Amino acid sequence: MASDASQSQLACAVARAFGFASVVAERSDDAVKVAEGAEPPFDLVLIGVSEAIGAADVTRRIRQLPGSARAGIPIVGFAGSDAPRLETECLDARMSQFVSGSLSATRLMDIVTQWLPSPSGGVG
């Protein structure tokens, strides 16, 4: 899920470059439903963070889904600007990482390789 269409498109393009499928949910409730119904569970969840999205709540709800695989999914939030209060809320909700500032393809690839297994089986 991303906070705007351009960031969603960027996230999907990076996912494809790594050989992963991607799903975009426009609303918080949709994101939780998609995460709950995904089989196999997602490898990584990216959330665009803004006041309107409620990323901390989405993170909490995903962490509470049944199944240990879903509880351990890396969840990375990104905000276009510095948002210390939102960052604290998200990390307190057990978000794996919070990223502030502009999101480029290179920066997003660095984040993805940090959290996803490499083709050889280890984490990036």
Tell me if 89 is assigned to some domain: yes
Query: Is 40 among the domain residues?
Result: yes
CATH code where residue 69 lies: 3.40.50.2300
**122 located within any domain:** no
Domain count, the chain: 1
- Let me know if residue 30 belongs to a domain: yes
DSSP states along 5-60: HHHHHHHHHHHHHTT------SSHHHHHHHHHH-SSPPS-EEEE--TTTTHHHHHH
Q: What is the pLDDT of residue 75?
A: 92
Q: In what order do the strands lie in the sheet with 97-100?
A: 45-48, 75-79, 97-100
**Confidence (pLDDT) at 1:** 43
Each residue's pLDDT expressed in tens, for the chain with a length of 124 residues:
444 667 778 888 888 887 887 888 877 888 888 888 888 778 888 888 876 568 899 999 999 988 767 778 899 988 878 788 889 999 999 999 999 888 888 888 888 888 886 554 444 4
| Residues of the domain holding 97 | 5-115
This model's pTM is above 0.85: no
Identify the three-state secondary structure at position 76. Answer: strand
Q: Is 124 a member of any domain?
A: no
